[in-house]
Homo-oligomer: A and B are copies of this chain.
Amino acid sequence: MKTAITPTRQENFSEWYQNLITAADLAENSPVRGCMTIKPYGWAIWELMRDEMDKRIKSNNVLNANFPLLIPIDFFNKEAEHVAGFAKECAVVTHHRLKMIDGSLQPDPEAQLTEPYIIRPTSETIIGEAMSRWVKSYRDLPMKLNQWVNVMRWEMRPRLFLRTAEFNWQEGHNVFATHEESNADARKMHKMYEEYMANVLAIPSIVGEKTPEERFAGADHTYTLEHIMQDGKALQAGTSHDLGQHFSKSFGIKYLGSDGKLSYAWTTSWGTSSRMMGSLFMTHSDDDGLVLPPMVAPYQVVIIPITREDNTDQLNVYSSVIGEKLKDKGIRVLVDDSDSRAPDKMWKWIKRGVPLRVEIGATEMEAGTLTVTRRDLGKASKTTFTTDDFIKNIQSLLTTIQQDMLNAVKERNKKMITEVDSLDALEKHLKQGTIGFFRIKYVFTQNDKFETLVEQYKISRRCLDENNPEYVFIAKSY
């Protein structure tokens, strides 16, 4: 069967992904090494994702703020594990002026900074410094802040949405009086992410704590959300860190308790990024292109008038009236009355993953009906509705699609997790090419033989099993 995207997922998943992004007009590699340009359709998806996440963040009494892009090297250097984790991938600003030298524009040697800055790879340090001044007494706690910003981590092998030098994210930074509170908060934000990914992105997460080997640089505990892609690889979609007192000690975040004693505070940080878009696209899409859950679809419904030369205007007007009725119900609708051919329009919106495709031709117009196809189920779902019924039931139709998409991935994931009871069993599976996650006792992975498998098969520990932390999930990853 001819598919809109070639190669298919089966043939070459990685090329399929690249071509999917082009076909849906989501983004492109920019001329800036490792950075991408997010095109309007991709950015519209991100805005919907961001707004849904922002609602949840605010409902947790977190306040948004905005901290500088640049971080003095000196700050960055204060937490040893942190600097070791990020120093190798920092963009460094060393000059504040350009000058024409020998006919070419260059950094002006006379405008060299005495102390260079790095572009934030994450903001624990600069926010830690601010909090050391803002937190004075127990009355100031908890202090919960978030920012939506761009960050930069130099990437040698960039991939659109999955790994880019610059990316957009939200980073939350909370401060508490006690470790009980900070740890509970790190877990609460982790749960918030899990709910968001399930209900907004229609993606079930494998959740749990990272093993010590895989923790964030400077954290006591890292709670992660791992998504299983269609090729069985893991994608880390978000993390929440209990930072203990690492940053409060490095930056002097202290508070005066109700007992008059000065104590170091306890901090957390938690983040999700435009990387989630990579997961969204790879989780749901098929060989005909993008498949979007209604919650984050820029257009939830596209109406395509199937016109003849003699009824173009009439059908376009008729379609736009139906479009307006749907908009009045809060639905995001596009009536594609452009002058392309109907099959071209059809394929355009299939590739872009619009959840519901509505066709209206002369027959439908006369009968007061619509032909509706669900993107997630394809041709088989083609149904005729009366126009009134469709408008009346649109909201529940979209809710059903959203729910069905989540359930479909849940079902698929079940087959993607293999239990193994020894390293030998794991090796056998890897050798024969079993795809997906492997669940194995954590203790079995703490030896040289496991490290050999890591090297050979490019696998890694994704997280401990939340339901039984004696077990760890192993997978190849993005």
Listed in ascending order, the chain A residues whose CB lies under 8 Å from chain B are 30-32, 35-40, 43-44, 46-47, 63-73, 75-77, 83, 87-100, 105-107, 116-119, 126, 129-130, 145, 149-150, 152, 154, 166, 168
Contact = CB atoms under 8 A, between A and B. Distances in A.
Given A106-B116, A149-B150, A35 B92 contact: no
Given A92-B96, A107-B92, A36 B87 contact: no
Contacts of A40: 63-65, 145
B72 A98 contact: no
The 9 closest A-B pairs by CB, nearest first: A40-B63, A35-B68, A92-B95, A38-B66, A87-B98, A96-B154, A32-B68, A92-B107, A94-B94
A204 B35 CA distance: 40
27 contacts: A30-B68, A31-B126, A32-B68, A32-B71, A32-B126, A37-B67, A40-B64, A40-B65, A40-B145, A44-B64, A47-B64, A69-B150, A69-B152, A73-B105, A73-B106, A76-B105, A83-B98, A87-B105, A89-B97, A90-B96, A90-B97, A91-B96, A92-B93, A92-B97, A92-B98, A98-B118, A149-B150
Most buried by B among A43, A87, A96: A96
A289 to B, nearest CB: 20
Given A37-B68, A44-B63, A76-B105, 18 more contacts: A30-B67, A31-B129, A32-B126, A35-B68, A38-B65, A43-B63, A47-B64, A68-B166, A73-B106, A76-B98, A77-B105, A83-B105, A89-B96, A90-B98, A91-B93, A91-B117, A94-B95, A149-B150
A120 B469 CA distance: 46
Most buried by B among A36, A39, A44, A76: A39
Contacts of A71: 32
A38 to B, nearest CB: 4
A83 to B, nearest CB: 7
A90 B111 CA distance: 10
Given A92-B98, A107-B92, A107-B116, A166 B73 contact: no
Contacts of A47: 64
